[in-house]
């Protein structure tokens, strides 16, 4: 272990005492059991140091990412949110395709893969998914092993964001061709979804086996925490493009299959997917929903049940007091990410924040804590 890493881990251990971690985890566990904690709602601040999903996702950058995440942990430790120190590998949408020997492809800052399914017949020629040496999937496992070694297994590690089966299939085939083929050759497309879901399950289980008790089963968000017994998290951004009937015919069986195999499911989509929310809530053991662009009120207006955890970011400018009052009034379990840092602090490094800057933060935080109190 490098000396600088050891020092950062020592400081994290000092800041996050066992008592503090226990209280925060108890608050999160209450939320995932569908009840509001007795003292206050749990929450976490939006990251300050870097973009968890788009920055430093490649093997040659794993040292930089590790140090930045440890710095992020230290910053949270100096504040009073319910952040649980952990490492998040990142996001590359080519992860699952690489298990079928599909090459990665970059378009600007977006990472996807080559289209290898030109016709429906090509689906029949797909190999069984496996973790190929030097593939993106194997690189993630190597990163997690490397971090275990560099930290002497002193800090938990999240599952990587590997995208769900539907959008993986669409990357390998093209969204337009996939939807057309689903209507003309439904049995073949259902087989395609099943094969790719096998890859998702396999890679999830590989990470869980590698990390053991240090495994955190969520990438929603990469800075959030959830108990280990709640199953898997899955991204399904294409939900916004499909009808309720299409969702029920093609998505629901695969989501149920993954949920059954991995012990439950929390599902993410960007965009407004209110039109299929009733069908999404048919997923067996659906634990939570992560809405990229929908507010809590929009979800409830679309028929959200209050036994489903909602994972949301309350955006700057959104009336926080109204959101908090809404959560309490409906006893809605919510995993909250909040913004704390004013613009003048975002424009300069944390290391040069003055005493008055920290005083400003603590005053803002004090006001937040009063809003979040449940007693």
pLDDT tens digit sequence for 166-219: 999 999 999 999 999 999 999 999 999 999 999 999 999 999 999 999 999 999
Question: Which residue, among 261, 208, 273, 205, has the nearest Cα to 237 in the 3D structure?
Answer: 273
Question: According to DSSP H, which parts of 78-215 are helical?
Answer: 136-150, 165-173, 175-184, 186-211
Closest Cα to residue 190, out of 99, 128, 252?
A: 252
pLDDT for the residue numbered 125:
92
User: Which of 263, 244, 91 is CA-nearest to residue 160?
Assistant: 91
On the question of pLDDT at 112 being above 90, the answer is no
Report yes or no: 266 and 231 within 8 Å, Cβ to Cβ. yes
- Give percent helix, percent strand, percent coil of the chain, each to the nearest 5: 50, 10, 35
Cα-based distances in Å from 198 to 68, 83, 164, 213: 33, 32, 11, 24
Q: Which residue has the higher pLDDT, 144 or 329?
A: 144
Residue 143 pLDDT greater than 70, yes or no: yes
Angle made by CA atoms 348, 351, 353, in degrees to the nearest 5: 60
For the stretch 11-40, pLDDT in tens is 999 999 999 999 999 999 999 999 999 999
pLDDT score for 1? 67
Q: pLDDT: is 191 or 105 the higher one?
A: 191
Please list, in sequence order, all residues whose beta carbon lies within 8 angstroms of the beta carbon of residue 256, skipping any fewer than 6 positions away: 283, 284
Distance CA(96)–CA(172), nearest Å, equals: 10
More confident residue, 108 or 187: 187
Tokens of 343: 């613009």
**Mean pLDDT, residues 50-58 taken together:** 94
In this prediction, residues 318-334 reach a mean pLDDT of 90
Q: Tell me which H or E stretch contains 343.
A: helix 343-346
Task: Name the pairing type of β-strands 43-45 and 334-338.
Answer: parallel
Percentage of the chain beyond pLDDT 70 is: 100
Mean pLDDT of the residues in the chain: 95
Domains and CATH numbers, the chain: 3-372 (3.20.20.210)
């Amino acid at each position: 272990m490098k000396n600088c890493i050891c020092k950062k881990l020592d400081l994290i251990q000092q800041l996050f005492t066992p008592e503090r971690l226990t209280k925060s985890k108890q608050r999160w566990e209450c939320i995932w059991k569908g009840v509001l904690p007795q003292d206050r709602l749990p929450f976490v601040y939006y990251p300050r140091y870097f973009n968890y999903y788009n920055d430093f996702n490649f093997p040659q950058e794993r040292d930089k990412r590790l140090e930045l995440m440890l710095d992020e942990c230290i910053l949270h430790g100096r504040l009073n949110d319910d952040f649980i120190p952990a490492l998040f590998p990142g996001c590359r949408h080519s992860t699952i395709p690489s298990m079928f020997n599909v090459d990665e492809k970059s378009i600007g800052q977006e990472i996807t893969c080559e289209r290898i399914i030109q016709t429906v017949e090509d689906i029949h020629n797909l190999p069984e998914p496996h973790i190929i040496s030097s593939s993106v999937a194997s690189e993630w496992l190597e990163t997690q092993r490397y971090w275990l070694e560099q930290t002497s297994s002193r800090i938990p590690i999240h599952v990587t964001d590997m995208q769900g089966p539907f959008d993986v299939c669409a990357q390998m085939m093209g969204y337009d061709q996939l939807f057309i083929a689903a209507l003309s050759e439904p049995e073949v497309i259902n087989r395609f979804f099943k094969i790719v879901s096998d890859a998702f399950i396999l890679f999830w289980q590989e990470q869980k086996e590698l990390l053991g008790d240090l495994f955190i089963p969520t990438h929603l968000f990469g800075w959030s925490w959830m108990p280990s017994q709640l199953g898997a998290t899955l991204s399904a951004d294409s939900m916004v493009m499909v009808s309720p009937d299409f969702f029920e015919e093609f998505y629901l069986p695969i989501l149920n299959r993954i949920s059954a195999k991995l012990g439950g499911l929390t599902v993410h989509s960007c965009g407004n997917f209110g039109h299929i929310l009733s069908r999404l809530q048919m997923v067996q053991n659906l634990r939570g929903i992560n809405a990229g662009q929908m507010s809590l009120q929009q979800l409830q207006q679309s028929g959200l049940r209050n036994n489903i955890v909602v994972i949301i970011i309350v955006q700057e400018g959104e009336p926080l007091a109204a959101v908090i009052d809404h959560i309490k009034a409906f006893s809605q379990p919510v995993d909250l990410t909040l913004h704390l840092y004013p613009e003048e602090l975002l424009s300069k490094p944390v290391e040069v924040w003055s005493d008055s800057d920290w005083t400003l933060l603590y005053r803002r935080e004090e006001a937040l804590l009063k809003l979040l109190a449940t007693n």
